[in-house]
Amino acid sequence: MQFYNLKTKQKVEISDENIQSVEMPNGRMAATAENEGMKLFKFLGKDDTDRLLAAGKVPTKQEKSS
Mean pLDDT of 34-62: 86
Task: Say what the pTM is.
Answer: 0.77
pLDDT at 65 over 70: no
**Is 35 exposed, middle or buried (CB count within 10 Å of its CB: 0-12, 13-18, 19+)?**
middle
In the chain, what are the domain boundaries? 2-61
For the chain, the farthest-separated pair of C-alpha atoms sits apart, in whole angstroms, at 33
